[in-house]
Amino acid sequence: MKRSIPELQHSAAPLVMVTAYDYPGGRHAEAAGVDLILVGDSLGNVVLGYDSTAPVTLGDMIHHARAVRRGAPGTFMVVDLPFGTYHTGVQDAMRSAVRVIQETGADAIKMEGATPEILQVVQTLTRNGIPVMGHVGLMPQTATAQGGLRVQGKDDGTARATLDGAVALEAAGAFSVVLEAIPARLANLISERLSVPTIGIGAGVGCDGQVLVTHDLLGVYEGEDKKIARRYAEVGRLSREAIETYAAEVRARAFPTKENSFVMKDDVLGKLY
Ligand code: KIV
């Protein structure tokens, strides 16, 4: 059954969140019993083949989130607002969030950052009944400005900014905050300071929950090992091997067999000659 925000916030066990981008991904995540599904804008990297999340549009997110929702009607679903859809003012952000909620059936939206402008957006959305998950630490949408896809919070300046950002997001109304790629001790401190749950990725075991990009945990891309993830399967290798076997059988006329074919009565066939 779908968990409510208070249930998520008072969970005794660490929260489990995975990303999903389509109908089968939603079905698998729901059948596995995760607490939350994130339709992440990592969609751009792992599904659409871009080299960053910046080109992902609101239309892309809505299209994919609708499919996830059809596969996972009973799981709390968070949808990322993509780059540029909440940076041009509170009204634009509100419009983007309303579209996501109305058109996808999302339970909440997520946005990156904790600048004064973003905090104002978080405050307006939450006051208007749209639950917001915050995101600090490494923020892929603006990674270029952060000096690339690199760990944040190792030095005084970024550690302070990450801690203050998380605290400010909670004060602005965020019901939960993602901590991405920060030292475990900083994540522990933030998790102690916040009363809303922190969800970590590359932030150590002390967070109130964990999130992984499903394509990383499934091993969809062969040979790709990320420090912040663990492969629980080798789906990429299995997919390639299955397609290779199919190709070999087609070439050897070993597929399809009688079992895969339809029969026809002799007299019907006879009339065709
Ligand atoms: O887009 C995404 O998948 C994310 C997670 C890595 C938290 O934001």
Q: Per-block average pLDDT, block size 10, for the chain (273 residues)?
A: 97 98 98 98 97 96 98 98 96 98 98 98 98 97 85 95 98 98 98 98 98 97 90 97 98 97 94 92
- pLDDT of the residue at 145: 83
Is there an atom of ligand 1 within 6 Å of 36 CB? no
Best probe residue, ligand 1, of 37, 180, 213 (max atoms within 8 Å of C-beta): 213
229-232: list long-range contacts, CB under 8 Å, 24+ apart: none
What separation in Å is there between the alpha carbon of 213 and the centre of ligand 1? 7
Regarding the beta carbon of 85 and ligand 1, being less than 6 Å apart is answered: no
Considering only CA atoms, which of 66, 70, 83, 59 is closest in space to residue 27? 70
| Closest C-alpha residue for ligand 1 atom 6 | 213
> Which residue bears the tokens 């019907």?
268
Structure confidence at residue 60 (pLDDT): 98
- As given in the structure block, the two tokens for residue 6 are 């208070």
Q: Is 180 a catalytic residue?
A: yes
Ligand 1 atom at shortest distance from the alpha carbon of 211: 7
